[in-house]
Structure 1
Amino acid sequence: MHQHVKPSRPIAWLFVAAAGLLSPWAAQAEKADKDKPMNVEADALRYEENRQTSVFNGNVVLTKGTIVMRGSKLDVRQDTQGNQLGLLVGTPATPGFFRQKREALDEWIEGEGDRIEYDSKAQTVLFTGRAVLRRYRGTQLNDQSVGSEILYNSQTEVFTVKGGAESKTAANPSGRVRAMLTPIPEEEKAGKTPPPQPSAEPATLRPSVKITEPKK
């Protein structure tokens, strides 16, 4: 069992273990996202009232606060408390895509996978198959990890990465976990806040379907 302790100062992503990776971060993802409505655009929709499920097909784009997800198919189920469970799949050519802003920082988390499972209650995102997770500071790529499965918790900002057969590529025939880490900037070591960099904000979308969580 691994214990995760929040650091007292900002740090670059910290990785431990050979088969998996764990990373505590100093700041949380955008806290308000979990209470924002879920908006979805797609070419087609099938909705089942009894099962409280919605299946979107074709050029799917989901937004929920700062969260953006894109893929070819999205299956969303909502429980009696209004919590949303979403399964997004990509295509053989293009994996599914996920993006979310970090709280009070000009930083973004981006991920890809053949399948992406989103849980609004647990605030977790699971990427499987061709899984990649990146951290951007403004528009600059700071850190990246690659594996067959990545589980990201946006509330605790801890993620785990596993290697395996699905991670094997021509560039990585072993299928082992791979990571690129950027050193801590000197201004952060000195306790200073670096100036923000311009960020590429996601395009504004006009939602065609709205799935709203109940007010608390």
Structure 2
Amino acid sequence: MKRLLTLPLLACLACAPIGLVHAEKADRNKPMNIEADALRHDDLQQTSVFTGRVVMTKGSIVLRGARLEVRQDAEGYQSGVVTAPPGQRAFFRQRRDTAPGAPEEFVEGEGEVIEYNGRADTVRFLRRAELRRYRGSTLSDELSGAVIVYFNLTDVFTVDGQQAAPNTPPAPGSRVRAVLAPKETPAPPAPAPGAPGPALRPSDALGGGKP
């Protein structure tokens, strides 16, 4: 039977102090809600394992996969590892902070494994990794590679197109691929109706200016 769980113990995956971030800042303080078919919690090891059609929401963050393991260290920092069903990819989505009046922006990512590190405030996508950024409903940027790391605090992305194992030749098609949209720049404001034009120099008014 599917269970809908709200866990005070797992109130947040990111317990680091709040800083200036581009991802949704309010997500840190939101409760974590997890829906799954089964749960196994080890209080001694401070781990919780959810299995079966797992969906985790925390503010604007959404994580989906077949298995989610949440671990808490001695200082209270928590991390989560989401694993996809065989042959599929796990899913991540988070809203980004934007200026008032600007279109909403979202970051979406997929990978066979997704690792969230609460201490470092990073999201790591492993194997067949893909990351997309949307402005409103428009796809803005798209990245793919073997490993993608998204740093929430600095809004930096790193992409590795090679195999994770050392001394292993890259597989065909394992190069980094990116599609980056140009940044939109606001147009200069139009002059108000009836606004005076540029002032004439005295020489221009007398016809003494240069041709």
The reply to whether TM is greater than 0.5 is: yes
Alignment root-mean-square deviation, CA: 2.1
Greater RCO, CA 8 A, separation 6+: 1
Distance 1:41 1:191 in 2: 49
Three-state SS of the structure 2 residue aligned to 1:108 is: strand
Asked if the contact 1:34/1:123 (under 8 Å) is kept, the reply is no
Three-state SS of the structure 2 residue aligned to 1:32 is: helix
Three-state SS of the structure 2 residue aligned to 1:29 is: coil
Residue in structure 1 matched with residue 204 of structure 2 by the alignment = none
Residue in structure 2 matched with residue 50 of structure 1 by the alignment = 44
TM-score of the aligned structures, taking structure 1 as reference length: 0.69
Q: Displacement of 1:80 after TM fit?
A: 3.3
Residue in structure 2 matched with residue 62 of structure 1 by the alignment = 56
Q: Is 1:160 aligned to residue 154 of structure 2?
A: no
Matched AA of 1:34: R
Distance 2:98 2:21 in 1: 8
TM-score of the aligned structures, taking structure 2 as reference length: 0.70
Distance 2:188 2:150 in 1: 27
Q: Displacement of 1:82 after TM fit?
A: 2.6
Q: Displacement of 1:186 after TM fit?
A: 4.2
Q: For residues 35 and 80 of structure 1, do their structure 2 counterparts lie closer, same or farther at Cα, with a shift above 3 Å needed?
A: farther
What runs of 5+ residues in structure 2 fail to find an aligned partner?
A: 1-19, 165-170, 190-211
* Identity within the alignment, %: 52
Asked if the contact 2:162/2:174 (under 8 Å) is kept, the reply is yes
Residue in structure 2 matched with residue 88 of structure 1 by the alignment = 82
4+ residue runs over 6 A deviation = none
The 10-residue stretch of structure 1 (108-117 or 77-86) with the greater mean CA deviation from structure 2:
77-86
Distance 1:61 1:137 in 2: 24
Distance 2:179 2:68 in 1: 30
